[in-house]
Amino acid sequence: MTALRRPRLTRDYWLLAGFEALCEVGPAALGAEPLARRLGATKGSFYWHFADVPAYSAALLALWEEDAAQGLEVASQAATEAARLRGCAQAMAATAEADSLTRRAESAIRAWAGTDPIAAEAVARVDTARLARLHRLLSACDIGNLEMARIVYAAAIGMQAMRDPARDQAAPAIGSLVDLILALR
């Protein structure tokens, strides 16, 4: 009789498990032991892929930052400036319908940033990039006020925080805000 061997856990599998754990439990779940227990694996598997827990956390945040940047690129492919602005704002606000676990983890990452300086730096970099993109898109629509970009972005973040997973209204709501801003110019 041969024993069934479980497939080896990949680096990406460990990272996705970290996003799930972060969303469900919080940053305390990002240690080697809690993650290994969660996956039914050994800590040795964790350390095969990551030098230590800080390296794992850095990889988790880097993946989130990369996904956030890609989300901006996809949203910027609409035909008109106004449509690009609307799509960009909607992409920033949407979490529940996002097909990416990293996007759904954004609120948890922001909460983590409140207690971890490395997470806070990652959030600051993403915020800076997103604000710059919103400002460029608003400027292209003849709204050059940087504060307007901050208002749209703050609304998007707030919509993430108050989302109802059963019915995510963030994308239509932020789209309505953008439409209102464009109508007032």
Higher pLDDT, 103 or 180: 180
pLDDT in tens, 38-62: 999 999 999 999 999 999 999 999 9
Task: Provide φ and ψ at 63, rounded to 5°.
Answer: -65, -40
pLDDT in tens, 98-121: 567 788 899 999 999 999 999 999
Residue 119's Cβ-side half-sphere holds a number of Cα atoms within 13 Å equal to 20
Q: Report how far residue 145's alpha carbon sits from residue 111's, in angstroms, rounded to the nearest whole number.
A: 29
pTM above 0.85, yes or no: yes
Q: Residue 185's pLDDT is what?
A: 81
DSSP 115: T
